[in-house]
Amino acid sequence: MKRQILVQLATNRMNFEMLDALPPFEDTVTETADLRLILHDTILSGQGRFPLSENIFLLRVEDKGQHCECMVVREGDQGSLDATTVRDLLKGACP
């Protein structure tokens, strides 16, 4: 199985842009950032690639000084992951 992870940043109230297509934003993002996390799962076999699932999550990351707060909401009803699982994965990535 192959998992492709796409991360998009909200550039205004209506659009999300791929992170790698944006100029460096570390100095322009304020205390809050809205992100879209897209996970594409594909099964790789000898006969080719077969899409397995697509999970889309909306994230809001807020800087609270000494700590960071992250809220995760699942977009749509497709896919096998839920928002709690993604939040726990993110918490495990940040010591």
Residue 87: domain span: 2-93
Closest CA to 36 of 15, 54, 9: 9
Q: Is the pTM of this model over 0.95?
A: no
Residue 95 has pLDDT above 60, yes or no: no
- pLDDT tens sequence across 41-87: 898 888 888 888 889 999 998 888 888 888 899 988 777 788 888 88
Token pair, residue 40, equals 């594409």
Neighbour count for residue 86 (Cβ, 10 Å)? 19
| CA gap 79, 5 in Å, rounded | 14
| Averaged pLDDT for residues 33-48 | 88
> Number of folded domains in the chain?
1
